[in-house]
Structure 1
Amino acid sequence: MAMDAEKDKPLPPSFDDNAKTENNNNNDQQPDLDQDLPQNHEVDSPSSRGPPSDADSKPGNDNGSEIKAEEELAEIKLEEESSPLPPDLNKVSEEIDQYISLLSSTSKNDDQPTQPDLPIFVEQFINLVVAKIDNYDSGDSPVRWSRLTDEDSASFLEAVDRVSSLSNALSQFSSEEKYAYSINSIGGVLQRAMSYVEEEFKSLLEDYKINNSDQSNNTRNDAKLKQSKSSISKEESDQNPHPESSPAKESNIPGYSEETLSSLIRLSNFMITGGYETECCQEYFVVRRNALEESIHKLGFEKYSIDDVHKMQWESLEREIEAWIKTFKQCAMVQLSSERKLSGTIFSDHPSISESLFGSLSHGVLIQLLNFAEAVALTKRAAEKLFKFLDIYEALRDVLSEIDNLFSEEEWVKEIKTEASMIRSLLGETMISIFNEIENSIKSDTGKNTVPGGAVHPLTKYTMNYLEYACEYKETLEQVFREHQKIERADSATGSEFDYNSQTQNHNNEKVKQSPLQAQIIKIMDLLDANLEGKAKLYKDHALSSIFMMNNGRYILKKIRGCNEINSLMGDTWYRRKSSDLRQYHKGYQRETWGKLLSCLNPEGLSVNGKVSKPLLKERFKSFNTMFDEIHKTQSNWVVGDEQLQSELRVSISQMVIPAYRSFLGRYSQVFTPGRQTEKYVKFQPEDIETYIDELFDGNARKKP
């Protein structure tokens, strides 16, 4: 049959779809679509003609041989002229369109008892499409979609679309045995074409990964594009009659050029309308998920299981938290916006698909990040973790607020907000528990070892530095304590709840409203004061006990004045009360140390019968000298680290001692015989006293001459 003859005739390796065929007798007549479907045309073939006669081949007849040769040449020429040229795709496509229209108006239950055989142009059309696919999808070296001209790509998609329409039109006759083979063949061609389109769609999407080597600038630049273009093989370049003379323009979507986006839009629409929505969405989701995970990795965040997080040393976990915060903010506030723009652009004709894909991608990457935050929140609580917990808490609060503003209409946002709210609750409860443990650690610090020289106690330094650092998060901590005001107190004998939103009384017995955080900080400060008072009693020297309290008190006040946040929490009333306490310790120190010394300079009892008793006077000077030597020796080893407090103490001592000593010395020094006696009992001049006082509290006693 002619159909078989056409099938056996090999197609040329290349052809022009727009070329017009001539002298094609088989295609001169269009099928009458109102009548029965056209039957196959018989085409003469060389095998249909008989062999040459014996007369034409008799030996010895030279003229006959010449005549025979001429006849054979004429016969070959006639044969070539009568052979049909390769069918034209455009012409056959018109016939296919008419045929599809006829099939669409034809029902299997029409009056025709039997459907006619498929016309020959159906097989011709399929062969032409297969040849076109072979030209593009040639095994290991397929022609990349980005190298096709607009004309070539449009022609390919139009041909495949026509195959899809033909397949759909013939599907109503799938039970007809004589159609089964053709329907399966057409389905196979469609599957192969769609596989090529799917692979090219994936390849274009992955072009983001190929060219995105710099995370700080995830848009493709012209230089990278040129480099990528130059790597294409010469064979592939030869296939493209219109090579690009300039780089692709960048789009406003990071990672893809305008040309790439245009191709992605065409291919996605083609796959979806062609019944390959699932494959299209799957490829898009996998590629973009991988791209997001690659971006997360480049930002420094690694994916860890809960067990991995719990086994990690805190120093290592701190670094991972910092990377997580950076990644979470970048991903949620920047990358998701770009991701939404990308899906909205590629699937602009299918908004429901765009939202579904964007939601799935966003949900997946955010859940992965939230899982890490949850694992951190469930680690064993410790005071040093407070600040990283606060960082995570703030990131969750700020980022989720931004997500809510940008994507509030999305269904997936609700689940993300619920998950994040749960993690914030875990963190909030843990942070309040940490403050509770700080209280307990202060109360339990009952060591019996004193700090040498009455210096600032390590507990004071740790507590104040901790609170100072914590109060840099004042607003966040206020929020944490408002949302978690009532927790079960570990120090409560009844296990009842403690209300942080409490009131306190000032010195005028007036009730003052306190914020939850303020009440917590004041409670810690009160516990610290009580602890320090207990530690001060460990010093046998009451004067040193006062120095210890002054050192610690001044350190506390200096920290509070140096931090606006904690200063505003403690308030002026508390600060004045604490300053008053320090003045009392100062007075106690002067009384214990220098008051006893000044008793040696008291003139009472020195006169007997109106005359100064030299023995008593000698005893007074000896007592003063001995006592002052001891004070200098001892208190030069005492430590007052705060320069201002050290200066205040020295000045107050000098003002108290030197005038009294100068007056006493001027009044009674002439009683002694000038010379050795005076030198023996008057050991110090007022200037010497002042010099030695300036050597007090530096922690390094100097031996006096």
Structure 2
Amino acid sequence: MASANNSMENLISARKSLKISLEKSKALGLALEKAGPRLDEMNQRLPYLEAAVRPIRAQKEALDAVGGHINRAVVPAAAVLKVFDAIHGLEKSLSDPQSDLPGYLSVLKRLEEALRFLGDNCGMAIQWLDDIVEYLEDNKVADDRYISTLKKALKYLRELQDNEEKDHHDGGLLGAALDRLENEFRRLLTENSVPLPMSSSSSLGEQACIAPSPLPVPVIQHLQAIIGRLIANGRLDKCISIYVEVRSSNVRASLQALNLDYLEISISEFNDVQSIEGYIAQWGKHLEFAVKHLFEAEYKLCNDVFERIGLDVWMGCFAKIAAQAGILAFLQFGKTVTESKKDPIKLLKLLDIFASLNKLRLDFNRLFGGTACAEIQNLTRDLIRSVIEGACEIFWELLVQVELQRQTPPPLDGSVPRLVSFITDYCNRLLGDDYKPILTQVLVIERSWKQEKFQEKILINEALKLIRAIELNLETWSKAYEDNVLSYLFMMNNHWHLYKHLKSTKLGNLLGDSWLKEHEQYKEYYSTFYLRESWGKLPALLSREGLILFSGGRAKARDLVKQRLKAFNEAFDELYKTQSNWVVPEKDLREKTCQLIVQAIVPVYRSYMQNYGPLVEQDASASKYAKYTAQSLEKMINSLFQPKPVKYGSFKIRQSSGKFNNGVTDQSRASPTVK
């Protein structure tokens, strides 16, 4: 019994002991479960702990030297970081350049100095850091992974140093600041660039000269200050680009009021020089205005704004403005005129172009004489050469063309051929005060190019040759008429034209009074022949023979009167029908000729009708014979020889045949005769 009790107690005791052990095991398991992550964390930290204690394991000499290496690397790196922080502090100090340009430029200059320091010292700091990393690696003072991380960081720094160094030092702050400065440069130019006001193109010659400088002095000073900072940062090209864009646009705006669309005209857009004659006159005025007022002002302004940089810079800037603003278009228009069809009027227009260019020669040499204006110089020289060669070619060909016209038929209406009227007027213009000096200068230059001596009277001699050729043409043409009466009228017209339009002129004075008197006498001579061989024959048809001494009574007298009136009417009608298509261009000669015809016919007819008209007036067919009254005859005669409407122009030098047109459909003079 007692042993049984002891066994139970032992069992209960063992159970309790087992239960306690089980609880302890559970607690230990929970503790182990919680310690697992901590062990993992400790396992991860062990390499860092190992690296941290490694210097303790390193050699003593390496440990003693590492401090000096670290100090030499850290000090410049710390200085660089300090300047870098200062740079970002300057960002807040960058004001608006429009409100405070001096302050803005001052801060910008400090920013540039800081960046220069970074540029000069970043490389050195990186090299010192690289040296300490190399030392740590060689002497195994630091962990390999730590050194690897340092190497990656240094590699990135070197890449930044090599790739657009300055831009990365400040994170683009300097670039943004310079962009704002460029915008301020553009604003100052744009707001102060005002096109030159003009009331009308007709008052160009009266335009007041533009101010000495188109920009106020304070504005120029601000522009110069901005240019200085932009140049310091390698932005001169952008600065010039903005300047050229704004100022050339301003010049173009000033020229727009002149309506210069004609400068773009091409050769295919006009038939001859006459169709753009007005434009050529405008061209000279517009070119002078552009050079003396607009380009002159831009030349001076470029000098004022960019003078501190150098001659090449501001001259190049001006050359771009001139080219973009339109000087090339002016020169190209002149070149287009030289390439148009040959025409005597073209000679005068070429001389006008030469005169305009010659008037501006000193201005061109001064404004466009630099190497930067090489394109303008080349185009100008090419234009002048084309003008001189074209003018001389037409001038020397005039005599040949006049002689070639000798083989063409004369005008069907007996009037003055266009060639005659044109040449007389043309020679006077060439010898006049407006064109003679210019043409002489052109001929002198052309002779010098050919290394030939210029003959002083060459222009006068050529003009006299032209008039002599015209005289020969008239003789030849007069013989080409089948109707002698029309030939007489033709010669009467032309001799009077030569006398009237050359008297008291430059050319007339050269020909002399005897020459002029001779043509006046020829006019009278041919007028007499014309009247005698045509209208002068009519009075004889109204013969009174047999009407006074007749003895056969009124019937016989009436028949004679009828016959003679019928013959008169038929002759008159035939002459009137034929000569109603003839022309006497000069009013005074036309009136005098009609007056002579009236005097030759009307008094005779009036007297005849007064005496013998009653014999037929009572007849049933009276209107058939008494067809005209003296008044109606006079009216009809005075209506003769009227000029037909004509298109004014010059004769042409035809490229294909080399002949002038001598027809009557375009009979004219290019301009009023020089008196």
TM-score by length of 1: 0.56
CA deviation digits over 1:529-586, x for unaligned, max 9? 4434444334433233222233344445555569x66666766565444333323322
Q: Which residue of 1 aligns with 2:197?
A: 216
The number of residues matched between the two structures is 513
C-alpha distance in 2 between matches for 1:658 and 1:440: 48
Asked if 1:536 corresponds to 2:517, the answer is no
Q: Kindly provide the CA deviation profile for residues 579-603 of structure 1, in whole angstroms up to 9, marking residues without a partner as x.
A: 3332332232234336655778999
Q: Structure 1 residues 327 and 601, CA, compared in 2 at 3 Å: closer, same or farther?
A: closer
1:193 pairs with one of 149, 174, 180: 174
Distance, in Å, in 1 between the alignment partners of 2:475 and 2:304 is 70
The correspondence for 1:551, drawn from 472, 478, 493, is 493
Q: Does residue 1:267 correspond to 2:226, yes or no?
A: yes
Distance 2:489 2:436 in 1: 32
Match of 2:637, SS state, is coil
Match of 2:587 in 1: 643
Equivalent position SS for 1:117: helix
d(CA) in 1 for partners of 2:543 and 2:302?
Answer: 95
Asked whether the 8 Å contact 1:197–1:267 carries over to 2, the reply is no
2:332 corresponds to 1:374: no
Are 1:163 and 2:114 matched, yes or no?
Answer: yes
Letter in 2 for 1:423: L
Runs of 5+ in structure 1 lacking a partner? 1-112, 137-142, 219-249, 489-496, 502-512
Q: CA deviation at 1:267?
A: 0.8
> Which residue pairs with 1:76 in the alignment?
none
Residue by residue, what CA displacement relative to the aligned partner does 1:675-705 show, whole Å, maximum 9, x if unpaired?
A: 749999xx999x976874564252399xxxx
Residues of 2 paired with 1:210 and 1:450: CA distance? Answer: 67
The question of 1:152 aligning with 2:103 is answered: yes
Q: Does 1:425 align with 2:385?
A: yes
Tell me the amino acid that sits aligned with residue 159 of structure 1.
R
Question: How far apart are the structure 1 equivalents of 2:498 and 2:330?
Answer: 40
Matching residue of 2:20:
none
The code of the aligned residue for 2:75 comes to D
Q: Distance in 1 between matches of 2:616 and 2:255?
A: 89
Matched with 2:523 is: 582
Deviation at 1:342, TM superposition (A): 1.3
Matched, 1:477 2:436: no
Residue 285 of structure 2 is aligned to residue 343 of structure 1: no
Q: Is the 8 A contact 2:492 2:526 kept in 1?
A: yes
2:534 maps to a residue whose letter is T
User: Aligned equivalents of 2:572 and 2:589: distance in 1?
Assistant: 18
Deviation at 1:323, TM superposition (A): 7.1
TM-superposed CA distance for 1:312, in Å, is 3.6
Give 1:531's aligned amino acid. N
Structure 2 CA distance for partners of 1:168 and 1:588, relative to 1, 3 Å: farther
Task: Tell me which amino acid in the other structure corresponds to 1:431.
Answer: A
- 2 CA distance for matches of 1:277 and 1:435? 52
Q: Map 1:254-293; keep pairs closer than 5 Å.
A: 254=214, 256-273=215-232, 276-285=235-244, 287-289=246-248, 292=251
Distance 1:123 1:614 in 2: 151
Q: Distance in 1 between matches of 2:572 and 2:436?
A: 45
Distance in 1 (CA, whole Å) between partners of 2:220 and 2:239 is 15
**Code of the aligned partner of 2:412:** V
- Alpha carbons of 1:430 and 1:124: their partners in 2 closer, same or farther (altered >3 Å)? same
Instruction: Please state how far the C-alpha of 1:643 moved relative to its aligned partner.
Output: 2.5
Q: What residue is the counterpart of 1:204 in the other structure?
A: 185
Query: Structure 1's 675 and 324: CA in aligned 2 closer, same or farther, altered over 3 A?
Result: closer
Which residue is equivalent to 1:393? 354
Partners of 1:158 and 1:257 in 2: how far apart? Answer: 26
Q: Which amino acid aligns with 1:480?
A: V
Q: Percent identity?
A: 17
Deviates more, 1:311-320 or 1:263-272: 311-320
Q: Do the aligned partners of residues 592 and 353 (structure 1) sit closer, same or farther apart at CA in structure 2, a change above 3 Å counting? A: same
SS in 2 for 1:381: coil
Q: Per-residue CA shift, 1:26-84, capped at 9, x if unaligned?
A: xxxxxxxxxxxxxxxxxxxxxxxxxxxxxxxxxxxxxxxxxxxxxxxxxxxxxxxxxxx
Distance change >3 Å, CA 302–CA 619, structure 1 → 2: closer
Call closer, same or farther: CA 1:411–1:675 in 2, change over 3 Å.
closer
Query: More helix by proportion, 1 or 2?
Result: 2
Per-residue deviation, 1:266: 0.6
In structure 2, what is the Cα distance between the partners aligned to 1:170 and 1:577? 104
The reply to whether residue 309 of structure 1 matches residue 251 of structure 2 is no
Tell me the amino acid that sits aligned with residue 378 of structure 1. E
Residue aligning to 2:151: none
Summarize the alignment of residues 602-681 of structure 1 with structure 2, pairs less than 5 Å apart.
626=567, 630-631=571-572, 634-635=575-576, 637=580, 638-653=582-597, 676=615
- Structure 2 residue runs of 5 or longer lacking an equivalent are 1-70, 130-156, 200-209, 643-675
CA deviations over 1:346-365 (Å, ceiling 9, x no partner): 12333435543345336745
Match of 1:79 in 2: none
Partner Cα separation in structure 1 for residue 454 and residue 536 of structure 2: 46
Q: Which amino acid aligns with 2:361?
A: L
Deviation, structure 1 residue 264: 0.7
Which residue type is aligned with residue 220 of structure 2? L
Between 1 and 2, higher relative CO (CA 8 Å, sep ≥ 6) is seen in 2
Cα distance in 2, alignment partners of residues 574 and 117 from structure 1 = 110
State whether residues 342 and 394 of structure 2, in contact with CA within 8 Å, keep that contact through their aligned partners in structure 1: yes
User: C-alpha separation between the residues in 1 aligned to 2:211 and 2:594?
Assistant: 74
Residue 424 of structure 1: CA displacement? 1.7
Instruction: Note the 1:674-693 alignment, pairs <5 A.
Output: 676=615, 692=633
Q: What is the distance in 1 between the residues matched to 2:309 and 2:360?
A: 28
| Contact 2:488-2:526 at 8 Å conserved across structures | yes
Amino acid at match of 1:401: L
Contact 1:130–1:189 under 8 Å retained in 2: no
Q: Is the 8 A contact 1:373 1:423 kept in 2?
A: yes
Is 2:328 aligned against 1:328? Answer: no
